[in-house]
Structures are given as structure tokens and as C-alpha cells.
């Protein structure tokens, strides 16, 4: 069963800025979101929980350099993206 991606206004602004700075990542970003909605546990996403000040969030990889942090609500079948960017920007 697919998950529902829930985009906040804040995340939409962050993603828009990310894609303006990295237009070459648009295809990989879109592919990551589609796969995330279909199967967030797909091995290529490298889904993992975060700790420390980001405890309660998860991270998936767009590629080796860029990540998306998110809330993964398994019981409600929802995924709420929080941030997108390179490793230092999202962590």
C-alpha cells in the first residue's frame, strides 16, 4: 500500500530553493519522492532513523551527496518531508 506524501508550505519553499540551486538534481529528486511514496523501505533510499536533536526523524538519500529528512508516520501511512539538501544542511 502506497504512502501519502504530505508537503508543508515550509518544506515546499525549501524544496523550491534546493531545485533552483541544483537544477541537475530535479530528476533524481522526483524519482526519490516517487519511490518514497511507493516503498519507503526500498534499499536504494537508505532509510534510517536519526538521533540527537533530530531524534524522531528519518533520512533518505537522493544520491550520495543529498538527503531528505522526514517524519515517517507508519500507522497513518503518511510521510512528511522536513528538509532537503546536502549532508551538512539537513543534519
Q: What is the pLDDT of residues 19-53, one digit of tens each?
A: 999 999 999 999 999 999 999 999 999 999 999 99
Q: Are 56 and 71 in contact (CB under 8 A)?
A: yes
Q: What pTM, to 2 d.p., does this model score?
A: 0.90
Q: Which residues make Cβ contacts (< 8 Å) with residue 77, sequence separation at least 6?
A: 1, 2, 3, 4
Q: What is the pLDDT of residues 55-83, one digit of tens each?
A: 999 999 999 999 999 998 877 889 999 99
Residue ranges per domain, the chain? Answer: 4-90
For residue 73, the model assigns a pLDDT of 84
CATH architecture for the domain at 4-90: 2-Layer Sandwich (3.30)
Amino acid at each position: 500500500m502506497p504512502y501519502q506524501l504530505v508537503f508543508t508550505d515550509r518544506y515546499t519553499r525549501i524544496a523550491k530553493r534546493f531545485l533552483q540551486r541544483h537544477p541537475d538534481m530535479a530528476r533524481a529528486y522526483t524519482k526519490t519522492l516517487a519511490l518514497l511514496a511507493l516503498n519507503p523501505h526500498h534499499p536504494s533510499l537508505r532509510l534510517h532513523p536519526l538521533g540527537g536533536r533530530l531524534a524522531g526523524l528519518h533520512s533518505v538519500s537522493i544520491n550520495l551527496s543529498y538527503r531528505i529528512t522526514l517524519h515517517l508516520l507508519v500507522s497513518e501511512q503518511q510521510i512528511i518531508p522536513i528538509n532537503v539538501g546536502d549532508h551538512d544542511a539537513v543534519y
